[in-house]
Amino acid sequence: MGVRKVEHDPKDAPVGLGNNACPRSFLWRAGYEAMNRAMKLKGGFVVLGMLSLMGVASPGAEENTTNGPAVTPQPRVEEWWFKRHAEKIGAMKEGEYELLMVGDSITHNFESIGEKVWKKYFEPLKALNLGFGGDRTNHVLWRLGHLPKPKAPPKAAVVMIGTNNICWGSDKPREAADGVKAIAAKLHALYPEAKILVLGVFPRRRELSHPHRKQIIELNSYLPELLKDLKNVKFLDIGPSFLDEKGHLSKEMMPDTTHPSEKGHEVWAQAIEGELKAMLGR
């Protein structure tokens, strides 16, 4: 069985999807051969149980073998993820945003623990939060490839992504860095006049000796060279702002050693405030 489009009451559809059937490729994910449960997403389609995903893969599935998962656009399967994506589609169709904040849970958290900071620093800049908790570079690439044409193209974008590729994914630092580059290139292709600020992946774990810290340092070391020839793209590493004088990750800044606290979000916003205003011509 494939993906079947069904009719439903339009009021039940999340903003941005309406009665449009989702592409079959949304179900493909590396390592998945079958989906043994029914899954429904209120956007005009139902995925029926016992769906064999072999032969339902996206055109990029074969490329995954050679290019690596970090640079292959790939969706997730959680319903909340598609619902959030639909909400962002609706926001882009209805509003005019000058700044896109692209990332994972670290950016997503501007809607929770960092909400006050967002309202202070980013709302005045007409920013849209495109952070999705748990995302890796491949997930962001899929989302960017499924955005609508906005009323007006954004003037700038900030990218902070990659920690989940190496800490919870299977990518090596160089592979994750290639994924970051692919995102910057995709944003430039979508919005050629936009200024793009790629941030180094924030430090993770307290001690410098922890493997995650070393992997992130290595990942970030590749980015200046990888990004240097991309037009309108700038790299900035603000990671040291979250460290104490000994190089340890501050508990006050990142209590769980990964996600900024409210103060951490404030430090982040202050560290890029000047760059953002310059990018937006403020």
For residue 197, name the pLDDT band (cuts at 50, 70, 90).
Answer: very high
For residue 266, name the pLDDT band (cuts at 50, 70, 90).
Answer: very high
Q: Give the residue, 167 or 55, on which the prediction is more confident.
A: 167
Q: Is the pLDDT of residue 138 over 60?
A: yes
Compute the average pLDDT of residues 263-273: 98
Q: What is the pLDDT of residues 225-243, one digit of tens each?
A: 999 999 999 999 999 999 9
Contact assessment for residue 227 and residue 197, using Cβ atoms and an 8 Å cutoff: no
For residue 169, name the pLDDT band (cuts at 50, 70, 90).
Answer: confident
Q: What is the pLDDT of residue 242?
A: 96
Q: What is the pLDDT of residues 67-82, one digit of tens each?
A: 569 999 999 999 999 9
Classify residue 84: in a domain, yes or no. Answer: no
Q: Are residues 250 and 192 in the same domain?
A: yes
For position 188, which CATH number holds? Answer: 3.40.50.1110
Q: Are residues 210 and 272 in the same domain?
A: yes
Q: Are residues 54 and 99 in the same domain?
A: no
For residue 208, name the pLDDT band (cuts at 50, 70, 90).
Answer: confident
pTM of the shown model: 0.78
Q: Strand 233-236 vs strand 195-199: parallel, antiparallel, or unpaired?
A: parallel
Q: Are residues 42 and 154 in the same domain?
A: no
Q: What is the pLDDT of residue 38?
A: 32
Q: Are residues 49 and 145 in the same domain?
A: no
Q: Give the count of domains, the chain.
A: 2
- Residue 160: is it exposed, middle or buried by C-beta count within 10 angstroms (0-12/13-18/19+)? buried
Q: Are residues 140 and 244 in the same domain?
A: yes
Q: Are residues 122 and 46 in the same domain?
A: no
Q: What is the pLDDT of residue 68?
A: 65
Q: Is the pLDDT of residue 13 over 70?
A: no
Q: Are residues 56 and 103 in the same domain?
A: no
Q: Is the pLDDT of residue 201 over 80?
A: yes
Phi, psi of 263, deg, nearest 5: -65, -40
Give CA–CA dist 201/216, Å, rounded.
6
Q: Are residues 133 and 176 in the same domain?
A: yes
Quick one: the chain helix, strand, coil %, rounded to 5? 45, 15, 45
Compute the average pLDDT of residues 90-109: 97
Q: What is the pLDDT of residue 30?
A: 37
Q: Give the residue, 214 or 168, on which the prediction is more confident.
A: 214
Q: Is the pLDDT of residue 53 over 50?
A: no
Classify residue 85: in a domain, yes or no. Answer: no
Q: Are residues 33 and 111 in the same domain?
A: no
Range of the domain at 128: 95-280
For residue 54, name the pLDDT band (cuts at 50, 70, 90).
Answer: very low
User: Tokens 């908790």 label which residue?
Assistant: 133
Give CA–CA dist 160/34, Å, rounded.
32
